[in-house]
Each structure stands twice: as structure tokens, then as C-alpha cells.
Amino acid sequence: MDKENTGRVLMKKYEVGRLLGKGTFAKVYYARNMMTSQSVAIKVIDKEKVLKVGMIDQIKREISVMRLVKHPNVVQLYEVMATRSKIYFVLEYVRGGELFNKVTKGRLKEDVARKYFQQLISAVDFCHSRGVYHRDLKPENLLLDDNGNLKISDFGLSALAESKKPDGLLHTTCGTPAYVAPEVISRKGYDGAKADIWSCGVILYVLLTGYLPFQCPNLIDMYRKISKADFRCPSWFPSDVRRLLFRILDPNPSSRIPISNIMEYPWFKRGFDDKLFKKKAKQKIDAGEVVFDSDDNDTVMAGQEMGKLAILNAFDIISFSARFDLSGLFEEADHKREAIFTSDLPASAIISKLEETAKGLQLKVKKNDHGTLKMEGLNISERGILAIDAEVFEVSPTVHLVEIKKIEGDALEYEKLWKDGIRPALEGIGCAWGMSK
């Protein structure tokens, strides 16, 4: 369903329009319900791809989550359909885009930030009451509707209460580094609700300041700051907000303020409409049993309408990879001598690609068993032989951080080699890129 399929009628019901976004396994299109003229977003998942990588259970978990959450501040799911080759999620179309886009223009006024925070906390509290933990809360996953109301999206990394281990904790390391709680980084198990609360605190700080509380040029230093909750509030911060933030961004999850207490906090309650935000779903919604058949034919296998509206996210609703998103953490500029990127490939595959790239650029390669590879030029300049180090770090079992830097030789020679050879060759394996001094 690419450009040539724009205007196609899906299931004799939806007229499909422009592409809104795409991920590894799916694309999201704007569409119109031909019977009601309602605008919707349709997530089209390639069944063959998800079968190939064994992600069917994750999709089924997504559907379970959708059935459990119904709240005015969560993007709604209207319908789930499937053919032999595709799975379709028909979702609420949220016109206002990401809250992130507002924050990039600068800090928000206190009253506006409070309104978004109230809506966020209300929705997160509801999700927790249904045993759903989002685990990737950040401004990019918060959308705004026509009336400026917040809608939580992207439950791709969410977990259900039954996902807990015998110790009563979750153990999957996931999320976005700048927003992730210290106990998640420690890999010793964590309470999903308390981890979500931490992320909400980071979001509140970002809304009020326009920047992150834990800003560092590299991931290790940032994790060190997060583990100690090493952050500062600007001098102009209202004292009541400052007190609330220090209680939310408490590195000890046992003493971190719970949502029930946040909602009783004087600053939070200002202008808060209890009746609206305490609205709960009165009935569960059956998403229907989606048939996951490996046959390629595009005939309908299952497609039960949901009658009433259920819930899910819009743009890029399901993140099928547990990789970290480091975009925005690194400032890219000219004449930098160090590059950092993340990859969800195994370390061995990354090293192989680095070797292949070096040989293609006629560089000598030396490597050891500790994830370090050294590349050397063949020509001697006034500044000696060009030498480049590449080191691979494991962030989590599925995410690796790669650091490439010039250690010897001419800077201009390195910059040309980087721009014309190394960077283009590695573009395909990097999830998110950044540069540092």
C-alpha cells in the first residue's frame, strides 16, 4: 500500500490516503471511513516480516493492551482487521502532532505545562489500574488533538501485570535513555508503575524548561547522573513545582511519590477537573481474534469490528524493536572528531561491517576480543598515519553503542574519509546518530 495504492479502498470501507509514517515492520496511512466520513489512521503491519522475526506474540500482547485501556487521553483503536499478508489497526487520527514539536520551540507556560501533565498523569494512572505499564513515555509519544488535549500513543514497549517475574518485578530493559528510571538501567528488576512515574517527572521538567534534566555528551555519564538523580532546577522554577519534581525524580523507587499522592499535590490540583479525569471505561472491548496465517494471499481471514471504541496509539503505534532512541541527545556539528551511534545488530555483525568498511576504504584493520577495532591509513602525512578507533559497547542485550574517533593523523583527511566513506557505509546499521567533541 505505497504511493500507487493511495486512494485504494480497504475492506470496502476505508479510503486510504497519504503516508503518515513508517517503521521497520509497518506503515501508517491517513484514511477516511466511507460510511461516516470520519478521519482515521491505519497501521498496516507486514505479517510475513513479523512472522519471520517471531514478533507475533508481541502483536498479540499489543491487542491485549488495547482491550484494557480506554481513556480520553489515550489514542483510540477502532478496529482490528487482517488478511493473509497484512494486519490492520484502524486508529484515532490525531491532527495536532507530537507534543515534542511544541517543546522544541522552547519551554511552555506553567499553566499549559500543568494541563498536559494533569492529562498525562490521569491517563497513566488509568493504565496502571488496568495492569498496563507503558515503559516508553516521552514527548514524542504524546500527541495533541484539535482541542489541544494530550493523547498517549505508542504502547509498543508496554507490559502487562502478568509479565512480572516471580519476584513481582519486570526485567526487560527498554525505553529511551533520557527518560528511563535508574532502576531500569540497573537490570535488577523494577516496578513498571514506578518507572512510568519517573518518566512523567522527566517529561514535566522538559515541558517547563525546554530541555532535559540529565544532559551529557555520552551515555555512560548520563546514566551516572540518572542513577543519582543529579539534576538542577532553574532559579525561576516555582518552589512547589521544585518540591514535586524532587519527589518524582527520586532515584529510590521505594520512596518515590506514587501517582495517588501526585494527584493530591496542591500544584497538580490547580484547575484539575476530577469528574472528567476520573472517567473510567464501563465495559471491556473485544478486539477479535486476528488470524496469523503465513499464506500470502490477500483474502480476508479475520476482521471483527469493535462496536465501541477501544484504544491504542497513532503514528508509529507499535515499536517492534526494543532499541533505544538517542536522537536529540547529541548535537551534530562540523569538525567533530568523534561519532556515536546505536545499533540493534549483534556485536559480531557490527564488527564485521566495520571491517568490511575499512577494507573497502583501503585501511588496515587490527582488532581485539573486547569489541575494539583500529583502522589505519596507508599513507604518512605531516601529522603521521591516520588512525581511527571504533569501540562497541553493550547497552542492553539487544542494543549496542558504537563510538568511532580519530586518535592520530590529519583532521581534514579524517573528515573527508568520514564524510565520503565511513558514514555512508555505516548508515544502514545505525539506529540513531550523534557527534561529540
User: Which CATH architecture describes the domain 3-94+280-302?
Assistant: 2-Layer Sandwich (3.30)
Q: Whole-prediction pTM value?
A: 0.64
Q: 30 in the Ramachandran plot: left (φ > 0), alpha (ψ -120 to 50) or beta?
A: beta
The pLDDT assigned to 374 comes to 86
User: Which of 46, 125, 136, 316 is labelled catalytic?
Assistant: 136
Q: For residue 369, indicate whether it is catalytic.
A: no
* Pick from 264, 247, 263: nearest CA to 255: 247
Mean pLDDT confidence for 4-17: 81
Average pLDDT value for residue range 92-116: 91
Q: Which amino acid is at 433?
A: W
Q: How confident is the model at residue 349 (pLDDT cuts 50, 70, 90)?
A: confident
Q: How far is CA 49 from the centre of its chain?
A: 20
Asked if residues 361 and 420 have their Cβ atoms less than 8 Å apart, the reply is no
Domain 338-436, CATH number (from 1.10.4030.10, 3.30.930.10, 3.30.310.80, 1.10.357.10): 3.30.310.80
Regarding predicted confidence, which is higher, 3 or 303? 3
> Distance between CA atoms of 127 and 134, rounded to whole angstroms?
8
pLDDT at 434 over 90: no
- The one-letter code for the residue type at 5 is N
Position 96 scores a pLDDT of 86
Residue range 99-131+158-277 forms a domain whose CATH class is mainly alpha
In this prediction, residues 381-407 reach a mean pLDDT of 76
Q: Count of alpha carbons within 13 Å of 385, Cβ hemisphere only?
A: 9
CB neighbours (10 Å) of residue 333? Answer: 9
Asked if pLDDT for residue 194 goes beyond 90, the answer is: yes
Give 347 or 322, the one with higher predicted confidence: 347
Report residue 189 as a C-alpha cell.
528488576
List, as one string, the DSSP characters of 367-403.
E-TTSEEEEEEEEEETTEEEEEEEEEEEEETTEEEEE
pLDDT score for 68? 80
The number of beta carbons lying within 10 Å of the beta carbon of residue 133 is: 26
Q: Where are the domains of the chain?
A: 3-94+280-302, 99-131+158-277, 338-436
27 is known to lie in a ligand binding site: no
CA-wise closest residue to 344 among 305, 389, 396: 396
Residues making up the chain, counted from first to last: 437
Task: Decide if pLDDT at 71 tops 80.
Answer: yes
Indicate the range of 11-15, 19-23, 178-182, 262-266 predicted with least confidence: 19-23
Tens digit of pLDDT for each residue in 351-367?
Answer: 888 888 888 888 888 87
pLDDT for 284 beyond 60: no
| Per-residue confidence (pLDDT) for residue 333, from 0 to 100 | 34
